Amino acid sequence: MTTIAFYENHQHKLWFTNEYAELTLGKIIFSSDNKKVEDFNRKSVDELKPLVRSFLPVGVLGSENHTILYVPFDMKDKFIKILEYLGFKTKKGNAADVPTSEKLGLVKGDVRSSFYDSMTIKDVHVLTEVNNMKNAEVQKLFDEITSEDTNIDAVFLARTGNSPQPILPTKSVRDGINIKVENYKLQVQKFLEYVARAKTVTPGFQDAYFRFTPALISIVLLGENQKILLFFVNATGEDFANFDFNRDQYLPKIKELLIEAKMIDEIN
């Protein structure tokens, strides 16, 4: 479940300087600093959607993980517009459902606890629906890839931003293969480090292979401004040539569906 808590807080002693910070796992505070709020409201929906999108679920909404986004009340109108643009619908939530600092396990007297306790929750919205028709098509294709004789044992998506949960729920793993997708978070970090280093010497760098024993992982960077990582995994070490061939066969269709689902902005 994802909850948006719109707050006011006149205690501007923040412990971070970026646009947002992780309070605890799944609890994100958007900065209430006046300049940050003004910058947010000045930007267009198109400019802001990659940031907001990075914190929102993909596909069918579930209750496995509860994310709360604390957003300054002065950003509410723009934030709701972005949610609508991304295909999300909301319903009114209950401020009483927003946990206390004690429930979050924050240390009393800590700057985070002090900031949190001085909040006034002005409005609460809960995501109730996402237009996931196109996302369902992506999932259907992923299931097809791992069910056929492709030597691709898993295919899934990962975020490229600083989200605390970089692995997306749109994924598929071949029956009988033991793959814990969450274990690949380290490869997200490593791959992005390679992309950053390669920018100055090899512009356009967008895919790499990680070879383990016996697994082979292919990671592809998709999108221009709104980016996403696409993972293909061969976990058995069998017939890498067939794995590589099928990856290239499916890649154009995956790109097309991701663009239609607004997960990426354009093919790079």
Q: Do both 153 and 233 map to the same domain?
A: yes
Q: What is the pLDDT of residue 257?
A: 87
* Per-residue model confidence (pLDDT) at position 130: 55
- Identity of the residue numbered 103: K
Residues 124 and 137 in one domain: no
- Position 248 confidence tier, pLDDT thresholds 50, 70, 90: very high
What confidence score (pLDDT) does residue 61 get? 47
pLDDT in tens, 36-54: 999 999 998 878 887 887 7
Cα dihedral across residues 178, 183, 188, 194: positive or negative: negative
* Same domain, residue pair 204 and 241: yes
Reported as a single tens digit per residue, the pLDDT across 78-131 is: 999 888 877 778 889 888 888 888 888 888 888 888 899 899 999 999 987 655
Interior/surface letters 71-97, b for 16+ CB within 10 angstroms, e for the rest: bbbbbbebbbebbeeebbebeebeeee
Q: Looking at the domain assignment, is residue 123 inside a domain?
A: yes
Same domain, 95 and 178: no
* Res. 260: pLDDT tops 70: yes
For residues 69 and 121, state if they share a domain.
yes
Place 196 in a pLDDT band, splitting at 50, 70 and 90. confident
Does 193 lie in the same domain as 160? Answer: yes
Question: Is residue 268 domain-resident?
Answer: no
The answer to whether position 244 is within a domain reads: yes
| Total number of domains in the chain | 2
**11 half-sphere exposure, CB direction, 13 A CA radius:** 13
Q: Name the nearest CA neighbour of 219 among 241, 197, 251, 245.
A: 251
pTM (global) more than 0.75: no
Using the 3D structure, point to which of 100, 130, 160 is the last residue of a domain: 130
Q: 17 and 115, same structural domain?
A: yes
CB atoms within 10 A of CB 6: 22
Residue 254's contacts (CB-CB under 8 Å, 6 or more residues apart) are 138, 141, 230
Residue numbers of the domain that contains 80: 2-130
The answer to whether 21 touches 15, Cβ cutoff 8 Å, is yes
pLDDT above 50 (res 152): yes
